[in-house]
């Protein structure tokens, strides 16, 4: 893996469940790990489309990070990625043929 391509800093956040003072369970995210990544786009997914009369822009990005004992724990149900103050929901995790060199996350931007 060419480390010069790992030019963007990302933060991986982990989902936690907190209980408020009256016993309600609240989902929160806390910073789990920060690292550098290669960011790519999926051009066929970036186009705008019509959905029930509304135009929606679904932005998909891929983040490729170095494999290590921390990043191998990341899955699509308990983690998300923050990149340039935008939140991206992890849709798939690709271990790139299990060579233990890199991991690719395919993510969808969360509309707030």
pLDDT, tens digit, 9 for 90 and up, residues 16-44: 999 999 999 999 999 999 999 999 987 54
Rounded to whole angstroms, how far apart are CA atoms 63 and 48? 22
Rounded to whole angstroms, how far apart are CA atoms 10 and 79? 13
Q: Name the band, by pLDDT with cuts 50, 70 and 90, for residue 58.
A: low
pLDDT at 46: 44
Is the Cβ–Cβ distance between 90 and 105 less than 8 Å?
A: yes
Rounded to whole angstroms, how far apart are CA atoms 1 and 96? 12
Top pLDDT among 69 and 3 is at 69
Q: Which residues contact 78 (CB under 8 A, 6 or more apart)?
A: 14, 15
Lowest mean pLDDT among 34-38, 46-50, 70-74, 95-99: 46-50
Domains along the sequence of the chain with CATH:
3-109 (2.40.10.270)
């Amino acid at each position: 893996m060419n480390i010069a391509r790992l030019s963007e800093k990302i933060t991986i956040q982990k989902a936690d469940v907190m209980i408020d003072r009256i016993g309600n369970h609240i989902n929160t995210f806390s910073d789990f790990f920060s690292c550098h990544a290669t960011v790519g786009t999926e051009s066929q997914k970036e186009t705008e489309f019509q959905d029930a009369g509304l135009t929606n822009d679904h932005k998909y990005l891929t983040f490729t990070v170095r494999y290590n004992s921390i990043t191998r724990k990341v899955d699509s149900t308990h983690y998300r990625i923050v990149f340039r103050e935008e939140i991206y929901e992890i849709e798939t995790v690709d271990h790139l043929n299990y060579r233990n060199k890199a991991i690719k996350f395919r993510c969808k931007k969360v509309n707030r």
